[in-house]
Amino acid sequence: MSAGQQLRVVDAGQSRPNTSAVTVPAFAYAFQPIVDVEARKVVSYEALVRGLGNEPAFHVIERVPKCNKYQFDQDSRVAAIARAAKLGLACDLNLNFLPQGLYEAPASISATLDAAVENHVAIERLNLEVTEEEVIADCAHFAARLNEYRRLGLKITIDDFGAGYAGLNLLAELQPDQVKIDMNLVRGIDKHGPRQAIVCAVAQVCTDLGIDVIAEGIETVQEYRWFADQGIHLFQGYLFSKPGFECFPPVCYPASN
């Protein structure tokens, strides 16, 4: 996803985050399942920001004043947790996170954890997604800060992995719980040698470091089969389920051969 769409998480329609006098657009969520095709179950939902009428995330985000960017990021996670809990969350919840928020909004993560406790969601269920691009600038410091929270059970996902310049180097400093393969590598991978070679290398590194690989943005059965043949079993994409507006949508498991 583009940088403008990073703020995918966010609040239920009726509530407006309490950000003092500054206007923040009202927003809603869509939840997209991340599935384990071997266990045939939903292992997590990614919370995605939507407009009140299910408009795409950027409709909301472009209306957030710049100075409120990190506050919005923080508030959106709090609201996403409340909404997911209300929907009866019984698996993990993937929440987007702007790493810069660690400095710009110091309560950023603790507010997220407090929301989990308030809504009776175990912290081990929360998975913070940060994009590769956002982390590289200050990776070692970022890793050290995050480790304070990982102690509590919080999990870390590197989103859009393979999209930025850091690539595999990032994993020398920070070993996340999951990586999501960048969609640009996924598209048409079944017919594209260089993409296959890159993803095979990423998958091997992840196996060696105990990192789960999620193939995100899967749209065709051919793309899915290629990943499944590599032993990858975690998927997210239209082929399985579109994001459900204000709900946990049903999942379709394609035949594997």
Partner 1 sequence: MDLPNTAPLIHCIYSSAATHAFSPEELAELLKKAREFNALNDLTGILLYAEGSFFQVLEGPEEAIAALYAKIENDKRHEQVTKIILEPIHKRSFAEWTMGFSNVSREELAKMEGTNDFFSKARCFADLDSGRAKKLLAAFRDGRWHKTAPSMRQKVAA
Q: Which residues bind partner 1 (CB under 8 A)?
A: 110, 113-114, 117, 123-124, 147-148, 150-153, 175, 177, 207-212
DSSP-assigned letter for residue 98: -
Q: Which is nearer to partner 1, 66 or 151 (CB)?
A: 151
| Minimum distance of partner 1 from residue 48's CB (angstroms) | 25
- The strand pair at 41-50 and 28-36 is best described as antiparallel
Residue ranges in 119-192 assigned as alpha helix (H)? 132-135, 139-150, 170-173, 183-186
| Minimum distance of partner 1 from residue 29's CB (angstroms) | 23
Question: How many C-beta atoms lie closer than 10 Å to residue 184's C-beta?
Answer: 13
Q: How far apart are CA 76 and CA 70, in angstroms?
A: 10
Q: Which is nearer to partner 1, 104 or 177 (CB)?
A: 177
Residue ranges in 136-230 assigned as alpha helix (H)? 139-150, 170-173, 183-186, 193-209, 221-229
Q: Which is nearer to partner 1, 1 or 174 (CB)?
A: 174
Phi and psi torsions of 26, nearest 5°: -70, 150
Give the contacts of 102 (CB within 8 A, at least 6 positions apart).
Answer: 108, 109, 142, 145
| Minimum distance of partner 1 from residue 34's CB (angstroms) | 14
Q: What's the chain's length in residues?
A: 257
Q: Which is nearer to partner 1, 61 or 213 (CB)?
A: 213
| Minimum distance of partner 1 from residue 93's CB (angstroms) | 16
| Minimum distance of partner 1 from residue 153's CB (angstroms) | 4
Q: How far apart are CA 186 and CA 178, in angstroms?
A: 16
Start-to-end CA distance of the chain, whole Å, equals 29
Given a contact cutoff of 8 angstroms between Cβ atoms, the answer to whether 199 and 184 are in contact is: no
Q: Which is nearer to partner 1, 207 or 256 (CB)?
A: 207
Q: Which is nearer to partner 1, 123 or 251 (CB)?
A: 123
| Minimum distance of partner 1 from residue 125's CB (angstroms) | 12
